[in-house]
Amino acid sequence: MDFLVPKLSATMESATVLRWLKQPGQSVRMGEALVELETDKAAIEVEAPADVTLAAIVAPEGTKLPIGGTLARLEPASGAVLAASAPAAKPATPSKSAPTPAAQRAAPAAAPAAQTGARQLASPLARRLAGTHGIDLARLSGSGPRGRVRKRDVLAAVEARGGTRPAAPAAPVTARAPASAIVEGFSAMRLGVAETVALSRRTIPSFSLDRWVETGAIEHARIAFGPGIERASGVRPTVTDYLLQAMADSLRAQPAMLDLWTEVEGRPRRVSPATIDIGLVVALEEGMMIPVLRDLGGKSLGEIARLRRDAVQRVRAGRLLASDSAPASIALSNLGRGGADRFDAIINPGQASILAVGREHERVIARGGAILVAKGFHITLSVDHRLIDGVRGAAFLGALAERIEFGPWTAE
Amino acid sequence: MAVQEITYREAIVAALTEEMRRDPKTLIMGEDIGPSGGPFKTCQGLYEEFGAARVRDTPIAETGFVGAALGLALTGYRPIAEIMFSDFLGVCFDQIVNGIAKHRFMSGAQSTVPLVIRAIGGGGLRFGAQHSQTGESWVLSVPGLKIVCPSSPAEAYGMLKSAIRDDNPVLIFEHKGLLSSKGEVETGAERLLPLTGSRVLRPGTDATIVASLAMVPRALGAADLLQADGIAAEVIDIRALRPMDTSAIAESVRKTSILVTVEEQTQVGGWGAEVVAQVTQQAFDYLDAPPARVTLPEYPLPFSPPLEDAALPTPESIAAAVKALV
Amino acid sequence: MKTARRGATGSARRAPAAKARGGIGHNAAALSDADRLGLFKSMARIREFEDQVHRSYLEGLVHGTTHLCQGQEAVSVGAAKPLREDDFVSYTYRGHGHCLARGMEMENAFAELFGRSTGVCQGLGGSMHLQDIERGLIGSFGIVGAGMPVAVGAGLTAQLNGRGQVSMSFFGDGACNIGAFHESLNIAQVWKLPVLFVCENNLYGEFTRINHTTPFEDLVQRAAGYAMNAVAVDGNDVEAVYAAVEPAVARAREGGGPTFIECKTYRHRGHSRTDPAKYRPQEELDAWLKRDPLILYRARLKELKLLTDREADQISADARAAAQAAAQRAAAAPWPDKDQDFMAKVYV
């Protein structure tokens, strides 16, 4: 069977093969990463769809392919194939700035890093600059101790590629910086975010609904269940996990909220997903990613917390799985640790709604004729009006608010 | 109200004199500080002006008079205690770390403890291992204290004045190697310096050197040497150790990508470790080399002059540490 | 351990005879009937407070440890009697009695022991650190002897203020061997400060009897090394304590300098809550229990026809009820806010 380039984000149109993680002839378990692709947003590892043997690589490293392009040929697994059978038929990738023999001796780890997958040593600054300028660290040989790639190595590579060497080092432009402004390109991620939000604003007619909800129930549940869940599953659920469970339950009760708008051959079509998948907005220094947490319906807080933790770790490490880019109907953007009381989030293209959560704070409320002080936050639901009208959106928000304020929570 | 070139020692005397004139609730206690004016003459003229009640010669009993300073502070006075050698802080350690530092907190903020402890320390004068320590590491980890370390006459003056007016216990580390160093100070004016935050003494783009006390002039010397090699080092006087504000240092490192700390203390548990940790948190993605610390070796300061000189950081050893990273 | 046993019983027998020894120049101001009843009530209040602490501890309301002073009430009450509102008092981790004798509210004291927001120190101090700056209760020190130099400083404040204030420092026999003790006595005497050094000699420094740690049991001798006025009294006789302290306070107010007052007493319970105090000879304990300061003073007031047994019982019962009610209210108080601005408590 052919192994094709999957669609990994709403705005993605093509991908470049960064790195094959398996050699032809190797057998690969389902879910094991096979290849690393660079998309408009990030480097993403794509897993094997089943237990297979990598029969042949069709697109060698560096090849750019459209969505649906053939990456490789796979064969169903047969235990007989040995990993050692066929060596990779890959072109050598000579480094552009060839290291001096002395540097090679001093830094044996530098050159083979690309082949062996050993960690390329690089200073934090070099790592960041490489990302900004689209330089593959693995192809550099570092001039620092133990072959560590330094700022100067990355800048030399930028220069060698024909780019202009940035005038100033990595200093941020602060108020005290000299008047001569620096003009340089955006990172791939920044550009990806820009394109995505612009597409959303251009194509999705949205409106938002707002509600202030009390968080006492979550607070009590965190005290009551937190330690037990942490003992059982190794991770203590955060407020985000409680919100995810509340959203999943509410979506189960109102599955129409899951419907997606898509176009097949130019004609609008409704897609009703079979599972409850929720995107989670994860902030990064350069932008954000929205990994999708799959099939949350009926999941316990411990399970949700584990899924959430793993996804966030993958995002932070820049090692997304293809499943992180699965379609989803709704996303959650929790700015609870920020300084904003409430905000509207922009719907991720391809999704139908997004829930934005502001900072937790106390406020005076009226209840049963009495004045009291309660802790809570604003939840603001932005919906795609093509799919969801005010009545439906408000009903969902109301049910969700009740669910957040009163539980019940499924701990284990 | 004049800008004068005066010594570090004269700056201390000027600050004490002005503040004791300003507030009759201030008084100073210490060993040999009365008619003798202090072993380092940091209290010269105070006894003559303010008399025996407010300029008090104490027995050689640091626990006694530092504890008494706490009692005075709790009951309405603003005492200043002079510790003749920073090394003697060990003698009154309990009063400082268990009493003075915690009193306000344990009382549920009923009490305030407006007192100043001035400790004169530092090496390079052939005093041997029990009279040459600066001592900041001992108290660095104690919440409740403010800790400052002036490196110039202007700082000795401005920070001491602020410390005396501050309602918290302030521990000032002065350096006996700096006592005769000169600098411009505007005395007689309300030139108070803040008790937190650092100061950039020399701008540069290639490396950030953070130093304290007598290491500050040595770090500036290192910057001169580096300049000759085409390396522009930024030199920062950390100046206040607790509460520690490293934001300006992190900002500098975002520009230079290289961090070297210089302190006259052993490496383990020194303030340099905290600076490196905080800056790494604030500016990790801007570091282009592992931060380095130039410190004393992990043994007591030796007496013999060539050995003491070899143990202390020098402009050359600081410059070498920077060059290894750039 | 022949010596130890001789020391043990010897002290108890000797204590009453030690009344008013030493060179106080004049007699104490006479006590009125109302004063005397007040002393008894104050001691009963401390006793019932400490007994309630013990019960609350068993209920799990008192956290960590606590150091009770049953048996030593006469020292706190008798020494506090001659003090004015603007005097300063510093004391130790066994300090509940000193605080109550200065009028601290039981409810706030309990709340502090229970770690509640209504505690005198908002739950930040605990049993060892009850303080009330407004009442001149300037510090309760958990480190043996550490409060003494602080009392000296407060004494210097008193001297500089020139308003006849005094500073009183309570400490135990254990403190008489630590450096801070010696430095404090020396400075106070050299500077002629109005400081009252009230030594509560209960014969045990934590678990170890005084004869194992100190060359003599009559700690009043320590003062001689500092040329300080000194007196030793029966610390279980509240009027004897008053009679020794009152002239010393009066002299200090007039610029006569410090006085060392050794109060011979005994704690009924162990050093702290975890100490069953099995190291004490039974006959020593029995002898001192018979000399319970409340029993002694009740007998004295009966003799003076100021109190009947029924009235005395009623006073104790009232104090017990008050302590119970105060503990109940304290236990119902909220915990301190975990999200409070702690740094505002550390720095001004």
- Catalytic residue numbers of B? 62, 131
Structure confidence at residue A78 (pLDDT): 57
Pick the residue from chain A with its C-alpha nearest to B252.
A171
Interface contact B169, partner C, CB < 8 A: no
Q: What is the pLDDT of residues B25-59, one digit of tens each?
A: 999 999 999 999 999 999 999 999 999 999 999 99
Q: Where in chain A is the domain with CATH 3.30.559.10?
A: 207-406
The C-alpha atoms of residue C78 and residue B38 are separated, in whole angstroms, by: 44
Nearest CA distance, B225 vs chain C (angstrom): 42
Q: B326 contacts in A (CB within 8 Å)?
A: none
- Give the global pTM: 0.67
Cross-chain Cβ contact B285/A174 below 8 Å: no
Cα torsion A7, A11, A17, A19: sign: negative
Pick the residue from chain B with its C-alpha nearest to A123.
B288
Q: Are A315 and A292 in contact (CB under 8 A)?
A: no
Q: Where in chain B is the domain with CATH 3.40.50.970?
A: 2-187
Q: B61 contacts in C (CB within 8 Å)?
A: 183, 186-187
Query: Quick check: C110 pLDDT over 70?
Result: yes
Q: Residue range C209-230: average pLDDT?
A: 95
Residues of chain B short of pLDDT 70, as ranges, are 1
pLDDT in tens, chain A (412 residues): 788 887 776 677 788 888 888 888 888 887 788 888 887 767 788 888 778 888 888 888 888 888 888 888 888 775 433 333 333 333 334 333 433 333 333 333 333 333 445 577 899 999 888 887 888 888 888 888 888 999 999 988 888 887 555 544 444 444 444 456 677 778 778 888 888 898 898 889 999 999 999 998 898 888 888 888 888 888 999 999 999 999 999 999 999 999 998 887 778 888 889 899 999 999 988 788 899 999 999 899 999 999 999 999 888 887 778 778 888 999 999 998 888 999 999 999 889 999 999 999 999 988 888 888 999 999 999 999 999 999 999 999 999 999 999 888 888 7
Q: What is the pLDDT of residues B75-106, one digit of tens each?
A: 999 999 999 999 999 999 999 999 999 999 99
* CATH class assigned to B199-323: alpha beta
Task: Give the residue numbers in A contacting B (CB under 8 Å), as ranges.
Answer: 123-128, 144, 150-151, 169-172, 174, 285
Cross-chain Cβ contact B285/A125 below 8 Å: yes
Structure confidence at residue C295 (pLDDT): 97
Average pLDDT, chain B: 96
Of the candidate CATH numbers 3.40.50.970, 1.10.150.120, 3.30.70.2190, 2.60.120.620, the domain formed by C2-331 belongs to 3.40.50.970
Subunits touching A (CB < 8 Å, at least 3 pairs)?
B
Please name every residue paired with A366 in a beta bridge, in sequence order, or none if there are none: A371
Pick the residue from chain C with its C-alpha nearest to B166.
C348
Please name every residue paired with B293 in a beta bridge, in sequence order, or none if there are none: B261
The total of other beta-carbon atoms located within 10 Å of residue C268's CB is 17
Cross-chain Cβ contact B106/C122 below 8 Å: no
Nearest CA distance, A18 vs chain B (angstrom): 23
Q: Are C129 and B107 in contact (CB under 8 A)?
A: yes
CATH architecture of the domain with range A207-406: 2-Layer Sandwich (3.30)
Nearest CA distance, C346 vs chain B (angstrom): 5
Instruction: Pull the structure tokens for residue A57.
Output: 């690589």
Structure confidence at residue A165 (pLDDT): 57
CATH architecture of the domain with range A104-167: Irregular (4.10)
Closest CA to B101 of B294, B243, B214: B243
Structure confidence at residue A21 (pLDDT): 87
Average pLDDT, chain C: 92
Pick the residue from chain B with its C-alpha nearest to A148.
B289
Subunits touching B (CB < 8 Å, at least 3 pairs)?
A, C
Q: Residue range C328-338: average pLDDT?
A: 96
Find the largest Cα–Cα distance for chain A.
83
The C-alpha atoms of residue B179 and residue B8 are separated, in whole angstroms, by: 5
Q: Where is pLDDT greater, at C165 or A51?
A: C165
Q: Where in chain A is the domain with CATH 4.10.320.10?
A: 104-167
Cross-chain Cβ contact B108/C139 below 8 Å: no
Cross-chain Cβ contact C138/B74 below 8 Å: yes
Structure confidence at residue A139 (pLDDT): 86
Closest CA to B315 of B178, B221, B175: B221
CATH architecture of the domain with range A2-76: Beta Barrel (2.40)
Is residue A156 classed exposed, middle or buried when 0-12, 13-18 and 19+ CB atoms within 10 A define those classes? middle
Closest CA to B42 of B115, B114, B120: B120
Q: Among residues of chain B, what percentage have pLDDT more than 90? A: 97
Interface contact B244, partner C, CB < 8 A: no
The C-alpha atoms of residue B100 and residue B114 are separated, in whole angstroms, by: 10
Interface contact C162, partner B, CB < 8 A: no
Instruction: Pull the structure tokens for residue C312.
Output: 């005395």
Terminal-residue alpha carbon distance, chain A: 40
Q: Are C264 and C201 in contact (CB under 8 A)?
A: yes
Domain B2-187 has CATH 3.30.465.10: no
Q: What's the pLDDT band for C100 if we cut at 50, 70, 90?
A: very high
- Beta sheet of A52-57, edge-to-edge order: A2-4, A70-76, A52-57, A27-28
Interface contact B72, partner C, CB < 8 A: yes
Closest CA to A206 of A365, A353, A12: A353
Q: A151 contacts in B (CB within 8 Å)?
A: 257, 288
Cross-chain Cβ contact C345/B75 below 8 Å: no
In chain C, positions 90-119, which contact chain B (CB-CB < 8 Å)? 90, 119
The total of other beta-carbon atoms located within 10 Å of residue B59's CB is 14
Interface contact B133, partner C, CB < 8 A: no
Q: Residue range C300-326: average pLDDT?
A: 97
Q: Where in chain B is the domain with CATH 3.40.50.920?
A: 199-323
Helix (H, G, I), strand (E, B) or coil at A155: helix
In chain B, positions 51-70, which contact chain C (CB-CB < 8 Å)? 53, 56, 58-59, 61, 63-70
Q: Which residue type, as a one-letter code, is found at position C234?
A: D
Q: Where is pLDDT greater, at C334 or A188?
A: C334
Interface contact B194, partner C, CB < 8 A: no
Q: Which residue type, as a one-letter code, is found at position C332?
A: A
Cross-chain Cβ contact C348/B112 below 8 Å: yes
Pick the residue from chain C with its C-alpha nearest to B65.
C149
Closest CA to B29 of A242, C66, C149: C149
